[in-house]
Amino acid sequence: MIRPGNALLDAFIAGPDRAVQKWIDYFDAYDRLLSPWRGRALTFLEIGVQNGGSLMMWRDYLGPDARIIGVDVDPNCRAMTEHGFEIWIGDQADPAFWDGFKAAVPSVDVVLDDGGHTMRQQLVTFDALFPIVSNGGLFMVEDTHTSYFPSHGGGAPGHPGTWMARVKDLIDQMHAWYHAPIDTADQVMAAVTIPSITIFDSLVAIEKRRRSPPIALARGDGGHQKNPPAMDYIAMRRALRVPDGGV
């Protein structure tokens, strides 16, 4: 069920001659994730252009100040340059392609991977592009159910080398403050740059934002137990007998 007043659905409906397909649950998810970006100057990268309908939908939704870039392996997608979009033709599973892209586009605010959905494509794309996502930006991957499809390199839950296996690993890394060796926790990429990972059905959104080490604050002096005014993750670990060398 899509909530009334969904501006992305309005943009989807606005172009009946545009070839575009989205799972119905995506409209609420994307409106929730991307509504703060509407009307702003941002660089939005979509991998998977196909017929270009989604690029037009995103432009209608995000507004005229958005710089929208499309990437596809099909040279026919260059036709979308006639509509004012920047189009790159290349294989998203090729790290060398992304090296060339990043030399020309050193920073993006939002990445949407709606490409080929194979495990190699999704993993190579994340490894290549997450480092250039701006502070406060988003990295999103569609059709993550392919992690369970052997045809795309996936398999049953727990199958190694899938995108969803990487997401589960990132969740653990995001919490490295609480289990990694204390002297290395602040060197774990996800711990210092990923404050949230939002998982929807077949869609994952990873926020990138520089983080400080966790600290808990307390106020008020009522009650029979006194709380310290502040406790960092190191004090918490030691209070709970977590070894400094990690678990």
- Which pair of tokens denotes residue 3? 């909530």
What secondary structure does DSSP assign to 155-202, as a single string?
-STT-TT-HHHHHHHHHHHHTGGGTS-TTTGGG-HHHHH-SEEEEETT
Report d(CA 131, CA 95) in Å as an integer: 13
Give strand pairing partners of 133.
Answer: 108
User: Alpha helices, DSSP H only, in the chain?
Assistant: 7-14, 24-34, 53-62, 95-104, 119-129, 163-174, 189-193, 233-239
Catalytic residue selected from 83, 117, 175, 179: 117
Q: Are 88 and 98 in contact (CB under 8 A)?
A: no
Contact 55, 70 (CB under 8 A): yes
Cα–chain center distance at 208 = 8
Q: Is 117 a catalytic residue?
A: yes
The gap from C-alpha 123 to its chain's centroid, in whole angstroms, comes to: 12
Instruction: Give the span between the Cα atoms of 148 and 205, in whole angstroms.
Output: 18
Residues tagged active-site: 117
